[in-house]
Amino acid sequence: MTHPHPHPHHAVGHGAAAPSLARMLDLDARILHGHQRELTAWVRRLARDTAGRVVVDLGAGTGTGTVALARRFDRADVHAVDASAAMLARVAERAVVDGLAD
């Protein structure tokens, strides 16, 4: 399950570039899928002895990493944090489509 959270502490926004940035991030995710799978497996191995059930994806972007973390940590509450409300909206939409939303 994923929970998008805005992070408005900075004046960082993606402005007019948000749609093109989102497309680029999604393309990167497709190209680097194998690397992402290895990375989330590595993080899972590191966290195997922890009792925590919360995972936070800081700088979540379009949510590709958030979804990968939610799948890898299937019993955890996964929270997406990003400075862009538009990106968080994409994360929330993606969580619904992928069956990961509460």
Residue 57 lies in a domain: yes
Cβ partners under 8 Å of residue 1, min gap 6: 70, 77, 78, 95, 100, 101, 102
The answer to whether residue 64 sits within a structural domain is yes
Per-residue pLDDT at 51: 59
Residue 38 lies in a domain: yes
Whether residue 101 contacts residue 95, with contact meaning beta carbons closer than 8 Å, is answered with yes
pLDDT of residue 49: 66
CATH of the domain at 57: 3.40.50.150
Range of the domain at 52: 2-7+16-97
Q: Is residue 65 part of a domain?
A: yes
Examine residue 92 and state whether it is found in any structural domain, yes or no. Answer: yes
Mean pLDDT by 10 residues, the chain (102 residues): 58 56 76 82 79 84 90 89 91 91 82
Looking at residue 57, its pLDDT comes to 93
Amino acid 15: pLDDT = 53
Identify whether 102 is part of a domain: no
SS3 track for 8-77: CCCCCCCHHHHHHHHHHHHHHHHHCHHHHHHHHHHHHHHCCCCCCCEEEEECCCCCHHHHHHHHHCCCCE
Total number of domains in the chain: 1
